[in-house]
Structure 1
Amino acid sequence: MKRIILSIAAISLLIVSCKNSQVSKQESSQKSVVKSNIANEQLMNKVQKDALKYFWDYAEPNSMLGRERYHEDNIYPDNDKHVVTTGGSGFGLATILVGVERGFIPRKDAVKRLTTMMDFLAKADRHKGAWSHWINGETGKTVPFGKKDNGGDLVETAFLTTGIIQVREYFKNGNAEEKALAKKCDELWKGIQWNWYTKGGEKVLYWHWSPEYQWEMNFPLQGYNECLITYILAASSPTYSIDAETYYKGWTRNGTYISDKEKYGLPMYVKHNGAEEYGGPLFWTQYSYIGLDPTNLSDKLINNYFDLNKNQVLIDYKYCVENPKGWKGYGPNYWGLTAGYSRNKDGSVGYDAHFPQNDHGVITPTAALSSFPYTPKESMDFLRFIYTQKPEFIGSAGPYDATSINYNNWTTPRYLAIDQGTIAPMIENYRTGFLWKLFMNAPEIQQGLKKLSFKSEKYNIK
């Protein structure tokens, strides 16, 4: 499901019609009761291992990439089981690496699986090197996300590319099979024409380009939202790079995206597109930071990206604790607003971008769980509560995508790749920094960050 695009003026809502599942329902007996005295480390292991199932057990069977969605309730869009999602698959690559590193899956099996995925991506439709948002996992053909959204999606491609680079870095010094995998990853990364997406040299990147509709989608990437990593990768490309001026004129809006506003006494630092009072959905603190380590990371305008993200999460947390709308259940153990499945007024399942200014009483578990690096105590409180006190919110691949205590413990037994895919990586970045180290130490990323005047003592970027 495409992330909700938050413009300065408005929020576009995408309602998902779900029917006719081809996936067999998982029996409720598969749900395990977690004892309340489980240790924190065991609990983090469990949720990471559970989230891995989405990409390991429920992958699209031909491409082995991440399905757009997986439903346990047999309500499924027509022919959807073969639709794979580009960005969510990037998060899936990172999740699989966590699985290898933690011993959840055999290394040799992962190499075989990842090789299949890279071979598929090499043959799939590409649009000036970029992949489309959705791809048919059987044929490799573009699946239109919308009538004019039938070409390259640079942001989804960026999320996928982060995972591809992490896979390359993890296996590049391995055995012959692993080195061959790393070489495939390198070739895919170098084939993306990032600078094409400046629409003929404009000092800004554009989200979409279609061979049929060209630039008619007309969505420039301007901050602040989830798209920062797109500029980092575009500046880092050894083949089709953008310059620093494109970053500062385009992404930072000539520096005008800086904000001096506070909420709950916490500086916001930037103007969140369409959500300037409280900040946007929490996926803005996660998607770009699967690989980009915000710890003491700075550029010409932001002194510390970690503080920016931490404050956004804390504002969301404090809002949920304050609970101005009086939703039942909201509090220190049950919080977190982000985009995902939602509950429509008639009780049916929809899709919405939840954040304080668009709060409908629905808590999306990935919001708190993928915020571990910023709010470890608050995220652990949520993790412990949902696993030990709310087993009805847990399915075969971890917490379901949407929950609500307010609506009589309503949930939807469904998963989305982009939500389930950030859980294991961000928890691992909190635990060991594993994925951050892979990405930040990649030679091209180091050069790209330097080009954009980023600094990080941790990675010797000056």
Structure 2
Amino acid sequence: MNLKTLVVNINFVRVLFIVGLISFIGCSSPKLDDSQPPAEETKLSDDSLLTLVQKQTFQYFWEGAEDISGLARERIHIDGVYPQNDQDVITTGGSGFGIMTILVGIERGFITRSEGYNRLNRIVDYLAKADRFHGAWPHWLYGPTGKVKPFGERDNGGDLVETAFMAQALICVRQYFNEGNIEEQSLAKKADELWKGIDWNFYRNGEQNVLYWHWSPNYGWIMNFPIRGYDECLITYILAASSPTHGVPAAVYHEGWARNGAIKSSAEQYGYKVILAHNGHEGSVGPLFWSQYSYLALDPRGLKDQYADYWALNRNHALIDREYSIKNPKNFKGYGADTWGLTASYSVDGYSAHSPTNDLGVITPTAAISSIPYTPEYSMEVIRHLYYDFGDKLWGKYGFYDAFSETENWFPKRYLAIDQGTIPVMIENHRSGLLWNLFMSAPEIQSGLIKLGFTSMQHVLTANTEVAEAIQ
């Protein structure tokens, strides 16, 4: 071999070494937004992992949003198992969760404040033109037109509970932007007008002391569903009592929701007090979304009334669910201290509201993750287990997939807005209290809570005179 050939060969080896080194560095450095869990030796801190989960899930409501409205699609199927017929279907409640997620995205730097403002401004303009029924939006909207898409044959009008999930988000938007620049103040004003346009009093169905879930322009009150506690609907009564334009008297809460005190429970499970009778059942607890949906904005820390300590209620609910999964009376595969969480989600045979009394062997990641304010250490155990031990079987484009069953070896790559939406919000409430502080700072909410007999150790509740007079 001559000298020239030797030099060429040495240079070629050097090039191969440099290319290999670059490839190794690129592969071994974990990226925050990478959809693939990193290797064991590069595991993230709890704080970084929570940010990653928030950021990835945020994308469902940002990149995955419906094109015209900017609101949340009802569902997104990645696996293609079912035809994707819901590309244009907007879910009102899930979109409320998504609006709060956008506020999280601004605070965490996933998007700029300007980007968040632009999207939210588009959203409130769309909501103002969309179908409403005495101020209440339907469960579903058809994205391109803003017209109602029936949730069922007779469910083609106002859905007061879904509307409440939206209204709590609009109040948070107002509080977030009301001291901003001129454009932001205009956004806050539009959000305020939307929430104040909801006629809660109409949904008493003839001045009854209870709120009704549905009203249809074609079928009236035929759905006949009075909202009585306890379930996910507490926020509906808080908002109805707080409204300065269409408020309801306190008796609607005490007689309708609290059933004249029958809402209380003296039962215990696994040594934890149940506190409130879930859906009228004295000794059982419902799906975990009951301790999440109303508390995305309503701060349960130190929140009490004559019926419950709401922090203890929600914490005990999560602890009962976890303990049930550890005991695992039906011997489902995988259940345990790092794999718990029963709530409404996809199931092996369709959609189901999973709970200890309706256990189908399906774990729903959002259940334990969104319980993180109540059970931070236990929820982190679940997050780490699901992220590192299951990898891309459970983790994808928009964070953790909706549900899975190890017993059935069932790992569908599907997402639902209402399940994804609680994750970034409840993680943020655990980390900073962002949405809790925004909502609880609203003067009419403070007046409404006082009106219903609530106290809070976390927030000083002060009745605003004008608002208090308006809601009597």
Q: What TM-score do the two structures reach when normalised by structure 1?
A: 0.91
Counterpart-to-counterpart distance in 2, 1:107 and 1:290: 21
Contact 1:278 1:316 in 2 (8 A): no
* The structure with more helix, counted as a fraction of residues: 2
Counterpart-to-counterpart distance in 1, 2:367 and 2:173: 25
Contact 2:263 2:280 in 1 (8 A): no
Q: Which amino acid aligns with 1:414?
A: R
- Tell me the CA shift for residue 403 of structure 1: 1.0
Counterpart-to-counterpart distance in 2, 1:144 and 1:215: 15
Residue equivalent to 1:11: none
Residue equivalent to 1:340: 345
Q: How does 1:47-126 map to 2 (within 5 A)?
A: 47-77=53-83, 79-126=85-132
For residues 9-38 of structure 1, give each alpha carbon's deviation from its aligned partner in whole angstroms, at most 9, with x where no partner exists: xxxxxxxxxxxxxxxxxxxxx731234431
Counterpart-to-counterpart distance in 2, 1:363 and 1:75: 19
| More deviation, 399-408/415-424 | 399-408
Residue equivalent to 1:461: 461
Residue equivalent to 1:22: none
Structure 2 residue 148 is matched with structure 1 residue 147: no
Counterpart-to-counterpart distance in 2, 1:370 and 1:301: 24
Residue equivalent to 1:314: 319
Residue equivalent to 2:38: 34
Counterpart secondary structure, 1:224: coil
* Among candidates 135, 144, 160, match of residue 166 of structure 2: 160
Which of structures 1 and 2 has the bigger CA Rg?
2
Contact 2:301 2:457 in 1 (8 A): no
Q: How does 1:8-407 map to 2 (within 5 A)?
A: 31-36=35-40, 37-77=43-83, 79-273=85-279, 276-302=282-308, 304-344=309-349, 350-391=350-391, 392-407=393-408
Q: Which amino acid aligns with 2:196?
A: K
User: Alignment length, in residue pairs?
Assistant: 427
The 3 A distance-change label for structure 1 pair 300 and 293 is same
Counterpart secondary structure, 1:70: strand
- Tell me the CA shift for residue 276 of structure 1: 4.3
Counterpart secondary structure, 2:277: coil
Q: Which amino acid aligns with 1:455?
A: T
Residue equivalent to 2:465: none
Unaligned runs of 5+ in 2: 1-33, 463-472
Counterpart secondary structure, 1:34: coil
Contact 1:82 1:138 in 2 (8 A): yes
Contact 2:265 2:283 in 1 (8 A): no
Unaligned runs of 5+ in 1: 1-29, 345-349
Counterpart-to-counterpart distance in 1, 2:292 and 2:71: 20
Counterpart-to-counterpart distance in 1, 2:421 and 2:222: 30
Residue equivalent to 1:449: 449
Counterpart secondary structure, 1:404: coil
Counterpart-to-counterpart distance in 2, 1:78 and 1:386: 26
Counterpart-to-counterpart distance in 2, 1:440 and 1:226: 19
Residue equivalent to 1:437: 437
Contact 1:275 1:357 in 2 (8 A): no
Counterpart-to-counterpart distance in 2, 1:288 and 1:298: 14
- Tell me the CA shift for residue 275 of structure 1: 5.3
For residues 345-383 of structure 1, give each alpha carbon's deviation from its aligned partner in whole angstroms, at most 9, with x where no partner exists: xxxxx1101001111111000000000010001100000
- How much is the aligned-residue C-alpha RMSD, in angstroms? 1.3
Counterpart secondary structure, 1:216: coil
Residue equivalent to 1:24: none
Counterpart secondary structure, 1:254: helix
Counterpart-to-counterpart distance in 2, 1:258 and 1:440: 25
Contact 1:298 1:455 in 2 (8 A): yes
Counterpart secondary structure, 1:135: strand
Q: Which amino acid aligns with 1:328?
A: K
Residue equivalent to 2:423: 423
For residues 212-252 of structure 1, give each alpha carbon's deviation from its aligned partner in whole angstroms, at most 9, with x where no partner exists: 10000000000000000000000010100001011000000
Q: Which amino acid aligns with 2:38?
A: V
Counterpart secondary structure, 1:337: coil
- Tell me the CA shift for residue 301 of structure 1: 1.9
Counterpart secondary structure, 2:411: strand
Contact 2:277 2:284 in 1 (8 A): no
- Tell me the CA shift for residue 76 of structure 1: 4.5
The 3 A distance-change label for structure 1 pair 72 and 394 is same
Greater relative contact order (CA < 8 Å, ≥ 6 in sequence): 1
